[in-house]
Chain A
Amino acid sequence: DVVLTQSPLSLPVTLGQAASISCRSTQRLENSDGITRLSWFHQRPGQSPRRLISQVSNRDSGVPDRFSGSGSGTDFTLIISRVEAEDVGVYYCMQYRHWPHTFGQGTKLEIK
């Protein structure tokens, strides 16, 4: 199975500062159609996950533009340019290139 390793696992951030989460895959996630199948999710405490980004960098409808995704091959990054209080929770990367689809362990973002 593809293993996704996120770092850091805990991320204390000051309001208004930037935050960056890394996701490293044990296999390449680009399909023969050229699409890289890597998404990011956010889960607030007590809530269902919400997809933020698909195909590395495509923000879902309604996702603030302070969220951005980048990367290629096996290395990917989620950046929150200016953290707001509502951004607390756990962030997961997920690959859907290989079955079984797999998630990273999660990165818990908290406000300092």
Chain B
Amino acid sequence: EVQLLESGGGLVQPGGSLRLSCAASGLTINNYWMSWIRQAPGKGLEWVAHLQPDGSATWYVDSVKGRFTISRDNAKNSLHLQMNSLRVEDTALYYCTTGGVQWGQGTLVIVSS
């Protein structure tokens, strides 16, 4: 059974940093497109970042470019999202997904002073 388990969310002040992690089981993440998708409270879905299977290319939505970095640890079969210079508008539930096919339960990030 495929499982994606996110962690690392929490409450942070504007300008702060968080590192989200996604532990995968039942699949080997370096065989998949891996993505982070977020959902602000009561809102729709927004694709945040995307990592090619061979790790050679990444894509980011414009609003997080230069602030967020998606990466992968093949040895630990885990995906990460380093989030710096956080803004109030980054408040959301962050989902780890295999390109939208399998989804975790999400980890909540709240940016507030």
| B46 surroundings in chain A (CB, below 8 A) | 103
Q: How far is the CB of B107 from chain A (nearest CB, A)?
A: 12
Give the total of B residues in contact with A, Cβ under 8 Å: 17
Query: Is B100 a contact partner of A105 (Cβ separation < 8 A)?
Result: no
Q: How far is the CA of A60 from the CA of B103 in the complex (A)?
A: 14
With A48-B95, A48-B105, A100-B62 given, is the CB distance from A92 to B44 under 8 Å?
yes
Q: How far is it, in angstroms, between the C-alpha of A9 and the C-alpha of B62 when the chains are bound? A: 26
* B100 in complex: contacting residue of A90, A94, A104, A106, CB < 8 Å: A94
User: Is A103 a contact of B44 with CB atoms below 8 Å?
Assistant: yes
Residue A28 is within 8 A (CB to CB) of chain B in the complex: no
In the assembled complex, the Cα of A18 lies from the Cα of B103 at a distance in Å of 28
Cα-based distance from A104 to B44 in the complex (angstroms) = 8
| Alpha-carbon distance between A57 and B45 when the two chains are bound, in angstroms | 21
* B-contact bits for A87-112, CB 8 A (1 contact / 0 none): 00010101010011111111000000
Query: B105 to A102, Cβ gap below 8 A?
Result: no
Q: Looking across the interface, which residue of chain A has its beta carbon closest to that of B104?
A: A48
Would you give the shortest CB distance from B4 to chain A, in whole angstroms? Answer: 9
Q: A100 vs B36: C-alpha distance in the bound complex, in angstroms?
A: 12
Taking the closest CB of chain B, its distance from the CB of A38, in whole angstroms, is 12
In the complex, what residues of B have CB within 8 A of residue A90's CB? 44
Tell whether B80 is near chain A: CB-to-CB under 8 Å.
no
Chain B residue contacts of A71, Cβ below 8 A: none
Contact among B45, B95, B104 with A103 in the assembled complex (CB-CB below 8 Å): B45
Interface string of A58-99 (1 = CB under 8 A from B): 001000000000000000000000000000001010101001
Q: List 28 A-B contacts (CB under 8 A).
A: A41-B45, A41-B100, A48-B95, A48-B104, A48-B105, A48-B106, A49-B95, A50-B103, A51-B101, A90-B44, A92-B44, A92-B45, A94-B45, A94-B47, A96-B99, A96-B100, A99-B50, A100-B47, A100-B59, A100-B60, A100-B61, A100-B62, A101-B47, A101-B50, A102-B47, A103-B44, A103-B46, A105-B44
Give A residues with C-beta under 8 Å from B. 39, 41, 48-51, 60, 90, 92, 94, 96, 99-106
